[in-house]
Structure 1
Amino acid sequence: MYRIFIVEDDAVIASAVAGHLRSWGWDALCAENFENILAGFAAFDPQLVLMDISLPNYNGYHWCSQIRQVSRVPVIFISSAADNLNIVMAMNMGGDDFIAKPFDLDVLTAKIQAMLRRTYDFAGQSRLLEHRGAVLNLDDGTLNAGKSRIDLTRNEHRILQVLLENKGRIVSRDTLMLRLWESDSYVDDNTLTVNVTRLRKKLEENGLPDFITTKKGSGYLIGD
């Protein structure tokens, strides 16, 4: 079942589109927090995004460019601003198609089917983990925070992955060392401390202080 993320602030339009897409067997979710579309995107991890241009806080161009920093998922713009300038802008900002409002739901469905077929017949699906605007891509090992791409070692990537997979829960040092051993990296207690310290420094240098919390005698935590 493909997941489709609908970024549309008109509740009537968003609800109608979502209901229609669900009738085709797709899992459709409408964005609710327009202050942080990227967090909703990463949490839902969709295979396609429908993006309006005129949105509260930041426009669809902004959010498309943010998504493009962490994912190649197809983005179809839907907007009543269908002049040539906006269409060109949408494509330049990373959009894959443009549908003018008002649109026929059957035409929208056909466009989505074609886009999904072209994209996923030839490529795999990405897996993303997000917290406080930082997005970890499990497939290519990249970590993006805002406009920055943070270079991680294999151990740092694995530590961050485990902590994000258990967001809101304390992860013991023994659990982290076990996961690192599973990836053929021998890590003792001192080496783990060095890796976590180095990872924290990289996060702090990129605007993410206190991203990882130490729970003395228990382990580490990335909180909500």
Structure 2
Amino acid sequence: MMYKIMVIEDSVELRNEMIVLLRRNGYDGYAPEQFDTIISDIRVTNPHLILLDINLPGQDGFQLCTEIRTFSQVPIMFVTSRNTDMDELMCMTLGGDDYISKPYNTSILVARISALLKRTYGNSSSQDQLTHGAVTLHLATSRLEANNHFVELTKNELKIMHYLFMHKKRIVSRLDLVEYLWDNEMFVDDNSLSVNINRIRNKLQALGLEEYIMTKRGQGYRI
């Protein structure tokens, strides 16, 4: 399951940084750019978690949180430069579930997001098996399964497939894959990425699957 996380932040630079961070960590991060339609956007997209700034054009974060709580119990984490005790108390009083101040440590932010999702939805975010089409990825045993047959994956191959599964039906750029592997302390350059992709494709062929990983020329890969 990929959790949808809405980022409500008026700084374009910070908003984009947060979306990249979320996607690298396996979340479906997205952000509204029009602040006068945020409530309707929430109703339509139904996010699993909202990251909410306080200082926003139009309604501020306090007002938005109050309005969201009239129709939804979606977890809300305030991410803001407002860092007084009174600000934090207001966030919690109005229905916020967590609070982190800017500038934040990215690892701590991701950990707090994971903890809040687990509190809200249980442990489904850490499921051992991911399935797409005819293929199941077994994370604990580092294996691919199709048609009751298995192939073993190396650590790099497992990470690559995990990332593709987390972004299934979407095009994943080669740069995103390389950066994801580097962030996980797996030192893969562009050439070795090609080698790993070819090895995975050979293993998928051994399972009877042709073109499970599709190349979109000039864009990246998609499953």
Q: TM-score, normalised by structure 2?
A: 0.54
Q: Give the Å deviation of 1:122.
A: 8.5
Amino acid in the other structure paired with 1:39: S
Q: Give the Å deviation of 1:105.
A: 1.1
Change (3 A) 1:28 1:77: same
- Is the Cα contact below 8 Å between 1:33 and 1:40 reproduced in 2? no
Distance 1:33 1:67 in 2: 17
Residues 57-82 of structure 1: CA deviation (Å, up to 9, x unaligned): 01001111111111111000011111
Distance 1:24 1:81 in 2: 26
Distance 2:108 2:42 in 1: 24
Q: Which residue does 1:4 correspond to in 2?
A: 5
Q: Which residue does 1:102 correspond to in 2?
A: 103
71-80 vs 30-39, which moves further:
30-39
Q: Give the Å deviation of 1:24.
A: 1.1
Consecutive aligned runs of 4 or more in structure 1 exceeding 3 Å deviation: none
Q: Which residue does 2:88 correspond to in 1?
A: 87
Q: Give the Å deviation of 1:36.
A: 2.2
Change (3 A) 1:122 1:21: closer
Q: Which residue does 1:59 correspond to in 2?
A: 60
Amino acid in the other structure paired with 1:44: T
Distance 1:122 1:67 in 2: 25
Distance 2:29 2:44 in 1: 13
Q: Which residue does 2:28 correspond to in 1?
A: 27
Unaligned 5+ residue runs, structure 1?
124-224
Within-5 A mapping of 1:101-180? 101-121=102-122
Amino acid in the other structure paired with 2:19: A
Identity %, equivalent residues: 37
Q: TM-score, normalised by structure 1?
A: 0.53
- Is the Cα contact below 8 Å between 1:76 and 1:99 reproduced in 2? yes
Compute the RMSD of aligned alpha carbons. Answer: 1.4
Aligned residues: 123
Distance 1:36 1:61 in 2: 16
Distance 2:24 2:56 in 1: 26
